[in-house]
């Protein structure tokens, strides 16, 4: 039996489900109390996964900061089909923990070697629309002992994970603001026409955190 890691999808949105403005400004939608919870959440997962879109837009570190780390920093995972990752990206800065960059089959050994010189490991996986094969990524992570993954990415990767039915848990932070339809939606097109086909979750908790609301859901 193939065991894939448990997936938590974390979203930090406006009340109308946007993760960035029309100019892609996103830092910070949620408040400091929510962000502190996110750091705790990172520390409780084996790996934090993001997409090249988020790395290029925000240059995040994706480490767990100012929290206890009984198991060390989580591994950092980047999905980057065509190896656009800048070698000086903060996410590549060494914390001694595993950093994995997944990419599509590539002959660009120079690029791979530049990224690997930072200590990261580049892993080639197959492609399946609209990007890298998520089952292949999860299987490679599982081979490395990763049992839980927190997905903290933009709309494209969040949508792909939901669409493939791989999300076990949703951690949704909502800030009391409305951005409007010209903002970037947390979730893109899922092709749901019948309500029966909507992705359904069971609410586990609702908490107030600073000025935000933090909802936890699990897959139905
Ligand atoms: N508020 C929040 O919680 C939050 C969190 C993160 C990001 N953001 C915002 O989100 C925006 C970036 O969104 P984004 O959608 O461009 O970034 P993303 O989801 O982080 O990354 C998307 C990229 O990942 C690559 N990819 C590889 N495999 C994929 C797959 N199976 N499915 C989908 N994508 C795959 C694709 O690029 P290649 O084809 O080149 O591989 C794709 O363009 C920024 O404005 C950022 O600030 C907000």
Span 108-144, pLDDT tens digits = 899 999 999 999 999 999 999 899 999 999 999 999 9
Residue nearest to atom 8 of ligand 1 (CA): 154
Residue 3 has pLDDT above 90, yes or no: no
Instruction: Tell me the pLDDT tens digit for each residue of 55-76.
Output: 999 999 999 999 999 889 999 9
- pTM of the model as a whole: 0.96
Higher-pLDDT residue of 73 and 95 is 73
pLDDT for the residue 2? 64
Ligand 1 centroid – CA 83 distance (Å): 14
Q: Is 205 helix (H, G, I), strand (E, B) or coil?
A: strand
Residue nearest to atom 13 of ligand 1 (CA): 154
What is the average per-residue pLDDT within 21-47? Answer: 95
Q: Is 89 helix (H, G, I), strand (E, B) or coil?
A: coil
DSSP string, 150-218: EE---HHHHHHHHHTT---EEEEEEES----TTSEESS------SGGGS--EEEEEEEEETTEEEEEEE
CA 160 to ligand 1: nearest atom? 32
Ligand 1 centroid – CA 70 distance (Å): 30
Residue nearest to atom 19 of ligand 1 (CA): 154
Ligand 1 centroid – CA 151 distance (Å): 11
Residue nearest to atom 7 of ligand 1 (CA): 154
pLDDT for the residue 159? 98
Residue 187 has pLDDT above 70, yes or no: yes
Residue nearest to atom 1 of ligand 1 (CA): 19
Average pLDDT, the chain: 95
What is the average per-residue pLDDT within 161-165? Answer: 95
pLDDT for the residue 4? 87
Q: Is 40 helix (H, G, I), strand (E, B) or coil?
A: helix
d(CA 132, CA 158): 13
81 close to 127: Cβ distance less than 8 angstroms: yes
Query: Hey, what domains does the chain have and what are their CATH numbers?
Result: 49-154 (3.40.430.10)
pLDDT for the residue 96? 80
pLDDT for the residue 94? 74
Higher-pLDDT residue of 3 and 116 is 116
Residue nearest to atom 45 of ligand 1 (CA): 24
pLDDT for the residue 1? 58
pLDDT for the residue 174? 98
- Quick check: CB of 50 below 6 Å from ligand 1? yes
- Quick check: CB of 125 below 6 Å from ligand 1? no
d(CA 67, CA 154): 24
Mutate to test the pocket of ligand 1, among 131, 162, 172 (most ligand atoms within 8 A of CB): 131
What is the average per-residue pLDDT within 67-94? Answer: 94
- Quick check: CB of 30 below 6 Å from ligand 1? no
CB atoms within 10 A of CB 10: 20
Strand partners, 128: 131
- Quick check: CB of 11 below 6 Å from ligand 1? yes
């Amino acid at each position: 039996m193939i065991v894939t890691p448990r997936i938590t999808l974390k979203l930090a949105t406006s009340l109308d489900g946007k993760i960035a403005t029309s100019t892609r400004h996103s830092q910070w939608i949620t408040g400091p109390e929510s962000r502190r919870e996110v750091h705790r959440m990172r520390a409780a997962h084996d790996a934090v996964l993001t997409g090249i879109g988020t790395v290029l837009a925000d240059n995040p570190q994706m480490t767990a900061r100012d929290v206890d780390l009984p198991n060390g920093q989580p591994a950092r995972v980047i999905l980057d089909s065509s190896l656009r990752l800048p070698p000086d990206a903060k996410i590549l800065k060494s914390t001694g923990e595993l950093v994995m960059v997944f990419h599509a089959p590539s002959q660009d050994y120079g690029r791979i070697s530049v990224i690997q010189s930072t200590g990261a490991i580049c892993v080639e996986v197959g492609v399946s629309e609209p990007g890298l094969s998520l089952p292949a990524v999860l299987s490679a992570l599982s081979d490395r002992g990763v049992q839980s993954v927190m997905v903290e990415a933009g709309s494209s990767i969040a949508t792909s994970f939901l669409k493939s039915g791989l999300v076990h848990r949703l951690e949704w932070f909502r800030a009391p603001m409305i951005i409007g339809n010209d903002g970037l939606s947390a979730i893109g097109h899922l092709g749901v026409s019948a309500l029966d086909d909507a992705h359904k979750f069971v609410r586990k908790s609702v908490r107030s955190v600073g000025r935000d609301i933090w909802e936890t859901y699990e897959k139905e």
